[in-house]
Amino acid sequence: MTYPVGGLDDSKVEPATTGGSTMRVFLSLPNLSPKYEEIVEELRERGLTVTTNCDTPLSSDARLNNIRKSDAYVYFSSASHPILREVEFGYALGLGLPVAYVGKPETKLHRFGDVFDDTDDFLSWWYSGDYLRFVATFTKLREREKAIA
């Protein structure tokens, strides 16, 4: 199963299995503990191409380049918020990428995009069939509003 870039066509409510480019997501992780490794694997099993800030020791320019190549950005909160990860989050917002924040938002900036209580909430909802149906409905409503205006 793969998630095509650009979302779903009108005839499907589940992720497409053929055609289009695979969606690339950048995960900003506090570390690469087994809990986060499981999330990376789960998203890869769902057909997403996943890169993280923990893949290799990356310079800040390399991280920003990986974010620029991504179709979505997900930030996992932690007890400490290293400045580089905060810069990444702002950079993703500035690029206009869809963003998700997992954990308790610490600032108003963290409330942009989807916010999930914890990793279980994130995995059960983000890019699930229900999520994609919700996004498709919202997108159709927004397109109708634009057409009227």
Q: How many domains does the chain have?
A: 1
Spans of the chain below 50 pLDDT:
1-19, 141-149
CA distance 99 to 141: 20
Q: Does residue 143 fall inside a structural domain?
A: yes
Instruction: Write down the mean pLDDT value for the chain.
Output: 77
Q: Does residue 123 fall inside a structural domain?
A: yes
CA distance 116 to 118: 6
Q: Does residue 67 fall inside a structural domain?
A: yes
CA distance 107 to 64: 21
CATH number at residue 80: 3.40.50.450
Q: Does residue 98 fall inside a structural domain?
A: yes
Q: Does residue 3 fall inside a structural domain?
A: no
